Amino acid sequence: MLRLTELWIYPIKSLAGISLPAADLTDRGLRYDRRWMLVDAAGGFLTQREYPEMALLQVTLTADGLQISHRTKSVEPLIVSFTPRDGQPLATAVFGSPVDVQYVDDQADRWFSQVLNTPVRLVYQPEDSHRGVDPAYAHRGEINSLADGYPFLLVGQSSLDGLNGYLKQPVPMNRFRPNFVFAGATAFDEDEWNTFRVGNVPFRAVKPCARCPIPGIDQATGQRSPEVLRVLNDHRKQGHKVFFGQNLLADSTTGHLHVGDEIEVISRRETA
């Protein structure tokens, strides 16, 4: 039997994730998932690709907003309200996909600039900012948060176990930043999924997830470890890209998911 074993959100793009026992679905992903991100002076977004120390910034949900702390530096935690105080608009893009965001406040800008030792600003994607997913894969005009390309990412625990079999030092799932982790299938079984349900919520696997250098960053230390990227390149390469996990779209804009939910695969992709 297939079961959902982990649920993750990443409220601020490329910062540490939050493991949840349950999560609500929205029209652009899990609630609070990647609705904030850091931008530079030119409005370009920051990720661990260029600033691996972002992995050390831990985010916690509170009743009124986010609390951000640094795992190793002695700095006072930052509190970010769910409602931005500034609200000044900014037109930016995530990998060429345009998106309208709002600046949050000067206090957040100063805090992040200090801990990352570079001038940055925190922005938020408001409810009226509708960033569409790639129309080549959309089924009903789905929208996205500030995630790279799609609202959800799914990885099987057996797939990570299979990858770890090639590594001298096994790595945890957080290297791959999934929203959903499941157990009960063989390694890379999710590569064949087409439509499926998690609990009562219907999903569609739209394309494999092409991996960037972030899986090569230790999320506990912020240090780069190239062995993971080498093994991915050796065992998960197709054409000029390496793939691990599946990008998803939901066939619903509402729903409630719980760790332990049963997963039912409805249809599979045709294979040659």
Give the residue from 33, 3, 23 showing the smallest Cα distance to 197: 3
Query: Which residue's entry shows tokens 């064949």?
Result: 192
Give the residue from 78, 83, 82, 128 showing the smallest Cα distance to 107: 78
| Coarse DSSP helix, strand, coil percentages of the chain, rounded to the nearest 5 percent | 15, 40, 45
| pLDDT less than 50: residues of the chain | 272
Both structure tokens of 106: 């000067």
Both structure tokens of 248: 């998803």
Q: Is the pTM for the entire model greater than 0.85? A: yes
Query: Which residue's entry shows tokens 């998911």?
Result: 257
- What phi and psi, each to the nearest 5 degrees, are found at residue 78? -100, 140
The pLDDT score that the predictor gives to residue 87 is 86
Give the residue from 172, 115, 148 showing the smallest Cα distance to 29: 148
Distance CA 43, CA 93 (A): 8
The pLDDT score that the predictor gives to residue 271 is 60
The pLDDT score that the predictor gives to residue 44 is 97
Amino acid at 226: P
Distance CA 58, CA 2 (A): 30
The H-or-E segment that residue 59 falls in is: strand 57-61
Which residue segments constitute the domains of the chain, with CATH numbers given? Answer: 2-29+134-268 (2.40.33.20), 31-131 (no CATH)
Three-state SS for 184-239 is CCCCCHHHHEEEEEECCEEEEEEEEEECCCHHHECCCCCCECCHHHHHHHHHCEEC
Both structure tokens of 30: 């899990």
Dump pLDDT digits (tens) for 176-186: 999 999 999 99
Q: Residue 183's Cα: distance from chain center in Å?
A: 19
**Cβ neighbours around 99 below 10 Å, total:** 21
Q: At what angle do helices 227-235 and 157-164 cross, to 10 degrees?
A: 110
Distance CA 79, CA 71 (A): 16
